[in-house]
Structure 1
């Protein structure tokens, strides 16, 4: 018998509970020789980890330890009380970075903060060790209370993680033996990256891991962190958190994306593997079709095609787990965009990162707009979260506050610089074409999204694609609307005159092909330019991030420092919009008439 557990939209999403994380209680094996009996099922018998540091310095957060070649060859014991995370560098690289490190320590100390919270292991120049072995013991009172486990790790670069000797994670390590080098296994498109800034480390979450290896009482989590052959900034890096879900349910309530006049995508995430089906209803709430997922997984992305343009539908999502427990949503509705010149509305906002409370206020206002009007999509101009590689920020700062809107209004996204080109963005976001730059027609308008965080030079793939697309559309009388993150004409004084690559390379194309309107973010305010050589630029970057000061000039008629969203109305002969602040008050109402001259 199926047991119904929850209705998604009426309840907060599930979040994992921390079981254990990296701290000074971990043991580490630093040697050219592997530890005995690896992987470890229990703490090594008749042996305790030895403290590497004197009592007086154990709690110091900035730990630099030089490890000589002789020590590497002779070490046959586990060490403890080394503050995590761990970094391993060669002596040459450490000395190269030392001035920058000392400057950072001085700055942090002057502001009353601890210098760092990590242990730096400085290795001989000749051949730094290729891997670290790490383990920790932790207690679990009732392992049966967890339906799945989750691991989030920061690492460089090959990784293997065990729970009580059972392998849970194997990443970029084709040869997992001792002294093996990591080897990159995944080729990413040019517009994606895994690296996190100059430190060249990665961060990744593994979801819906099995719980069978978890046992009552004492448990051992252990890991191997392997370096690449020629990487040294750092050579090895490791940090980890193990968490678990105690209930089966929605981690990310169903949300809508990639709207078209004849289809839409429905996506959702579960706390454990489960089936998935979308039930589709007509405007009168009569069931008309089922769309099964055909996969038993924790994440589902279903494409619903064969819809009618400018038509309202209702839908429900149902998922069952292996224990015949069911979660389902109540009915929600959406409307498809028109495929003719029928006027339509859409919502616009961006830079929602870093302040989920304000983001949630704006979402509440926009959700009311969607309940009162037919709104087929919402454009987000980028910077969904502050650090695009952190799984928890996508959960807390974007999907949780945005759920009341995205359950009924599909997302049309542009990527920002704070997503840092991370694969997690492309995992959770569905968009047309390559999902980084794309074109879609809605009613009397052609919408084109760009990725302004990668190259837009004339030799770039993106530039060539845009030029070809604009050439294809040049004879059309429809509106040409572009949206991307970085404004070429900035309201913010410290960013004036604007983002150079866009201003130098993309703006001439926009003017050449008669682009009518460009929607932007990045500056945390509401801004509007005058008509600049036939094109108007509208900045909506007040979705939650801390506001920036604005300053009008010849290229910026309006600069208003308020959190806000914009309601856009598109007609064949005009576009008008209302910018509305977080209190629901009008900032500006503006009308843009359609040009009749051909480019």
Structure 2
């Protein structure tokens, strides 16, 4: 039995993991190395399809028979009409140049200006024009667990696999309303960027998949009359072995609750087994999921207590009869709940880990050695948030070794694009775009600087109200864009933050503001508020330029260690070699 009266995290998590491994092996609990499972490609972006412009109604088999006689053309498929002087893909000279270069690697076609999917009358569906696409692919693996599909699109579409509907997105389900992203419009949540939307659809039923030749058919709609065209391409992948795509990671920690997330390859029900010792006597689940990306919240926990946990995914497809060998179970990890008092604690911060996962992974190794309670990431977790593989390669794969044990509080950067994937992959308080949480004697306020911050904007109104109601001894804000830049190309800083948020920081006595965006370390002070840029988490670093109110700018990959005591904040900047490059303190 491991003692559960430890007051603080041990200094080196690598040593903790080794000790834990020995203890758990003695008690009969498995502790194994972790491997992330990659999917097998079935159809990729840019592959060839046959196509036709036809009616949405009629027999699918007849459509597929006609399509077999057509000449195959490369995706993406881009439809424009004569009334468009500039379609969505040629809005500027650079885009036009890129499009001209890629013209032989795409298929363009003209469509009628009135080609619109009218959702108000389902009976008229058969008479509406759509883009039909079809292709075949081979599948020969002996095992299949689940499918996932990533699509690039502008409008609604339906995907069929061997004559069975596999996925419908952006269109009305017959007899029901069209699906939405809930509060997406108010929060600025997007499915893509300027040229097209792009989104991953996980946990698709593999039942229609056959050994040998398979046929994939897509029906693409132009749903809105004011939409300038049609765009479509897709990637289809299969998971052919049991395992984890993302091993367990901690989210939204508190004194009495914490959330555990993970992604499996199997369509499953998630369970978290946990306890204060090696006997994991408690079990939590979220039975409503049945997909592959899982989120389970543990409640009624004891404050300031170390818990051990592991996750289990019980396979739902195909139907099983008490076949435990088809389930997957993680190694055992641990976490510590937040204290209820105002005692001292330590947290770590870094940001802009995008683009260079090797550097990010090296930094994570350093973070594992720090005795911290949690971490903060100041944004730009990916090079581009619309691509699912970027989230996997640039953020999760390097960071999971830390996130098993330590929650990372995140905020959105401009490269993340306020994409819907962020809201699927993380579990955060409030509306998840901007939020606050308390820990010890401090209150933290996370802002989304990629969204409006002007007067009367929902975010700025929330910030003023949250700061006005805060009674915490320390007030700490974190966001992506710095008010005061530390590199020449971005001087003097990000205007919306500087013009509208900074006056609130000063009015309500914020102590520390953490930002990223500039790929370096920097700090300064203005009117009693300290500003720190921690953007050296992996991306290529920028040359520094010191301008008031900044007093120091250093071009190095690094992270911060911040000690919070009753009357003092101590901030240390440590480079990737473990050397301290700066330290300073903020006193009450």
TM-score range, shorter chain: 0.7 to 0.9
User: CA-to-partner distance for each residue in 1:233-281, whole Å, 9 max, x for gaps?
Assistant: 3x21100111100112111100001111222111111112112221222
1:26 to 49, 54, 72: 49
TM-score, with structure 2 as normaliser? 0.86
| Alignment partner, residue 121 of structure 1 | 109
> Helix, strand or coil: the match of 1:494?
helix
SS of structure 2 residue aligned to 1:456: coil
1:483 Cα shift? 0.8
Q: Aligned partners of 1:14, 1:119: CA distance in 2, in Å?
A: 34
Structure 1 pair 226/590, CA: closer, same or farther in 2 (3 Å)? same
| Partner Cα distance (1:186, 1:38) in 2 | 29
Match status 1:517 vs 2:512: yes
Q: Supply the distance in 2 between the matched residues of 1:229 and 1:440 (Cα, whole angstroms).
A: 40
Contact 2:202 2:293 in 1 (8 A): no
Counterparts of 1:330 and 1:103 in 2: how far apart (Å)?
A: 49
State the alpha-carbon separation in 2 of the partners of residues 471 and 444 from structure 1. 16
Asked if 1:240 is matched to 2:261, the reply is no
Unaligned runs of 5+ in 1: 1-5, 50-77, 595-599
Aligned to 2:393: 396
CA-CA distance at 1:380 after TM superposition: 0.8
Q: Report deviation, 1:183.
A: 5.7
* 1:72 aligned partner: none
- What are the residue-to-residue correspondences of 1:184-223 with 2, within 5 Å? 185-189=180-184, 190-199=186-195, 201-223=196-218
Partner of 1:317: 311
Cα deviations across residues 110-134 of structure 1 (Å, max 9, x unaligned)? xxx7567322223355658842000
Alpha-carbon distance in 1 for matches of 2:439, 2:280:
27
How many pairs are equivalent?
A: 539
Q: TM-score, normalised by structure 1?
A: 0.84
Displacement of 1:35: 8.7
- Give the equivalent residue in structure 1 for 2:245: 251
| 1:231, distance to aligned residue in structure 2 (A) | 3.3
Q: Does 1:277 align with 2:278?
A: no
Partner of 2:412: 415
* Match status 1:44 vs 2:38: no
Partner SS for 2:399? helix
Compute the displacement of 1:341 (Å). 2.0
- Contact kept? 1:40, 1:222, Cα under 8 Å: no
8 Å CA contact retained: 2:114, 2:225? no
Matched, 1:472 2:473: no
- The answer to whether the 8 Å contact 2:350/2:559 transfers is yes
Instruction: Describe the shift of the 1:17–1:511 C-alpha distance in structure 2 as closer, same or farther (beyond 3 A).
Output: same
Structure 2 portions without partners, runs of 5+:
1-28, 117-127
- Superposition map of 1:326-405 within 5 A: 326-369=327-370, 373=371, 375-405=372-402
The residue matched to 2:501 in structure 1 has which SS? helix
Give the match for residue 92 of structure 1: 83
1:76-112 per-position Cα deviation (integer Å, ceiling 9, x unaligned): xx3x242210111112325467975665455798xxx
Distance, in Å, in 2 between the alignment partners of 1:293 and 1:48 is: 44
Cα RMSD of the aligned pairs, angstroms, is: 2.6
- Partner SS state of residue 170, structure 1: strand
- Answer whether contact 1:9 1:253 (CA < 8 A) is retained: no
Query: Structure 1 segments of 4 or more deviating over 6 A?
Result: 6-9, 96-99
- Larger CA deviation: 383-392 vs 88-97: 88-97
Conserved 8 A contact 1:259-1:376 = no
Distance 1:96 1:158, change over 3 A: closer
Deviates more, 1:246-255 or 1:224-233: 224-233
